């Protein structure tokens, strides 16, 4: 079995990355469009996500689209819309069976079908239906109390890129017309930074020739600006926010500001710190908050390396937020004073290394790894594993001293006694 053979081509209007391997029976193609995130564009990007794989001018109905995907041996279509640091990223993906297992010419047919959806979509088809899907997603935020609490926590930071509602805004959704969609989509095709990834056992020249026909834009921006979000200012006094709601359990969420990280600390040390602190049921916080004191149903950390922030969230019984905060503070101060559990440090590193290795077992994971390398100059997989394995207690202590509490949001459950 052949390993991963990665070749990049600068195609003027885009970058083409071919990862040749016979590890899979399928071929996976991803086309990623990237630009600086703008709050007012989030809603329309989510709407386009629903529209683009519904139909095209060559396949004007969803039924005709489904018939064609079935003919192409059950070809799969996917879209995603997400943010990394300062940037909004829109991806189109497809996966289909390699013609080695079907019939000659199917690779080219499948890729052309996929590219036709990207370059010739019917953006005026079923708009109302797609708007309802986006509206449902926006409203669903308040149904998931963990997501809602984290959003309220981040919303307090103002105009930072992570303070925006990733689903969009209903008031903007109502105003979007067909012409707005077409105009914005055209600007995506013409102005965004584009990276194309192909994973599978393929003929490189054939792939290059197919994509060259579709990507005819020559005004592509060559610069690759930093995606890292600006640092939050340290605060003299922690911002305290709260709401009361009729829910089963309270939610405690804490935002931490992280300033002055080196590239090494951001990419390798901070994730290990986060994993060790609250990444699993073996973590410091889980044992201290849940197992020893029974104050929480769960407690976890979220590390956002390219936002320079970390968050801790916990599902707790009403009235326990102060007790839980004291324990969290005590655990974090203990680390910064040099009290490191070496076994937990090693477990955290092993967990991250296992995750890196597991990502190479599927095409989407492989693409994510190579795209990260493109976005943030990430190292090759083996080098990343080596860097994680070498994270020391001293590294953890040094990073822990750069972490400061910024904001606390508590979604307090209505006391049951008050409801009697």
How many domains does the chain divide into? Answer: 2
222 within domain boundaries? no
What predicted TM-score, i.e. pTM, was given to this entire model? 0.92
Residue 365 belongs to domain with CATH number: 3.30.830.10
> What is the per-residue pLDDT for 224?
61
The confidence band for 419, taking pLDDT boundaries of 50, 70 and 90, is very low
**6 has which bridge partners?**
19
If you write DSSP's letter for every residue of 336-367 in order, what string do you get? HTT---HHHHHHHHHHHHHHHHHGGGSHHHHH
Assess whether 203 and 285 both reside in one domain.
Answer: no
Same domain (yes/no): 175, 302: no
Please tell me which residue, 322 or 416, carries the higher pLDDT value.
322
Domain match, 109 and 29 both: yes
Q: Tens digit of pLDDT for each residue in 9-66? A: 988 878 999 999 999 999 999 999 999 999 999 999 999 999 998 889 999 998 999 9
pLDDT at 215: 84
* Residue 293, domain member (yes or no): yes
Please tell me the predicted confidence (pLDDT) of residue 223: 57
Residue 33 DSSP symbol: E
Same domain, 295 and 393: yes
Distance CA(99)–CA(89), nearest Å, equals 30
Q: What is the pLDDT of residue 376?
A: 82
178-201: per-residue pLDDT in tens? 999 999 999 999 889 999 999 999
Instruction: Tell me the two tokens of residue 10.
Output: 């600068």
Instruction: Give the pLDDT confidence score for residue 274 in this predicted structure.
Output: 97
Q: Does one domain contain both 399 and 266?
A: yes
The region of weakest confidence among 73-82, 213-222, 280-289, 403-412 is 213-222
Q: Beginning with the edge strand found earlier in the chain, give each strand of the sheet holding 403-413 in spatial order.
A: 239-245, 403-413, 250-258, 309-316, 296-304
| Pairwise CA distance, residues 353 & 392, whole Å | 15
In a domain, 129, yes or no: yes
Answer for the pair 13, 191: CB distance below 8 angstroms, yes or no: no
208 and 129, same structural domain? yes
221 occurs within a structural domain = no
Asked if the structure places residue 210 within a domain, the reply is: yes
Mean pLDDT of the chain: 92
175 and 59 share a domain? yes
pLDDT at residue 418 tops 50? no
pLDDT in tens, 106-159: 999 999 999 999 999 999 989 999 999 999 999 999 999 999 999 999 999 988
206 and 246 in a single domain? The answer is: no
Q: What is the pLDDT of residues 295-334, one digit of tens each?
A: 999 999 999 999 999 999 999 998 899 999 999 999 999 9
Is the pLDDT assigned to residue 417 strictly greater than 90? Answer: no
Question: How crowded is the C-beta side of 77, counted as CA atoms within 13 Å?
Answer: 22
Q: Percent of the chain having pLDDT more than 90? A: 82
| Domain of residue 201, residue span | 5-214
Q: Do 198 and 251 lie in a common domain? A: no
Residue 271 has pLDDT above 80, yes or no: yes
Confidence (pLDDT) at 227: 84
| Element housing 396 (H / E) | helix 393-400
293 and 206 housed in the same domain: no
Residue 228 lies in a domain: no
Same-domain check for residues 209 and 260: no
Do 400 and 38 contact (CB within 8 A), yes or no?
no
Q: Is the pLDDT of residue 420 over 60?
A: no
What is the pLDDT at residue 222?
Answer: 52
Residue 350 lies inside a defined structural domain of this protein: yes
Does 358 fall in a domain?
Answer: yes
Please tell me whether residues 314 and 194 are part of one structural domain. no
Mean of pLDDT values over 328-355 = 97
């Amino acid at each position: 079995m052949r390993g991963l053979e990665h070749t990049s081509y600068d195609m003027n209007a885009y970058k083409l990355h071919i990862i040749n391997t016979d590890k899979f029976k399928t071929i996976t193609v991803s086309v990623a469009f990237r630009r600086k995130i703008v709050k007012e564009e989030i809603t329309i990007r989510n709407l386009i996500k629903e529209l683009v794989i519904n139909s095209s001018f060559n396949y004007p109905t969803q039924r005709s689209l489904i018939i064609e995907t079935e003919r192409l041996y059950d070809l799969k279509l996917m879209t995603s819309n997400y943010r990394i640091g300062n940037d909004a990223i829109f991806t189109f993906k497809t996966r289909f069976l390699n013609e080695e297992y079907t019939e000659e010419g199917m690779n080219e047919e499948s890729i052309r079908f996929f590219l036709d959806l990207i370059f010739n979509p019917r953006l005026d088809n079923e708009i109302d239906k797609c708007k309802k899907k986006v509206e449902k997603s926006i409203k669903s935020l308040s149904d998931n109390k963990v997501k809602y609490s984290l959003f309220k926590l981040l919303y307090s930071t103002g105009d930072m890129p992570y303070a925006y509602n990733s689903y969009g805004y209903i008031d903007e959704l109502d105003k979007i017309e067909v012409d707005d969609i077409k105009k914005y989509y055209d600007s995506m095709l013409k102005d965004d930074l584009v990276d194309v990834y192909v994973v599978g056992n393929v003929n490189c020249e054939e792939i290059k020739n197919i994509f060259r026909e579709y990507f005819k834009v020559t005004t592509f921006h060559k610069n690759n600006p930093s995606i890292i979000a600006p640092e939050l200012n340290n605060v003299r006094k922690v911002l305290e926010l709260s709401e009361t709601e009729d829910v089963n359990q309270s939610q405690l969420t804490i935002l931490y500001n992280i300033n002055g990280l080196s590239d090494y600390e951001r990419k390798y040390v901070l994730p290990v710190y986060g994993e060790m602190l609250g990444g699993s049921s073996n973590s410091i916080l889980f044992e201290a908050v849940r197992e020893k004191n029974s104050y929480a149903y769960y407690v976890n950390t979220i590390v956002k390396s390219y936002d320079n922030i970390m968050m801790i969230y916990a599902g707790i019984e009403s009235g326990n937020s102060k007790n839980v905060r004291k324990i969290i503070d005590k655990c974090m101060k203990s680390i910064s004073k040099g009290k490191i559990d070496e076994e937990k440090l090693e477990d955290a590193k092993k967990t991250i290394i296992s995750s890196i290795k597991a990502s190479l077992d599927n095409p989407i994971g492989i693409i994510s790894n190579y795209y990260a390398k493109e976005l943030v100059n990430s190292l090759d997989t083996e080098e990343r594993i080596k860097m994680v394995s070498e994270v020391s207690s001293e590294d953890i202590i040094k990073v822990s001293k750069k972490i400061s509490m910024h904001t606390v949001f508590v979604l307090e459950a209505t006391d049951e006694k008050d409801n009697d």
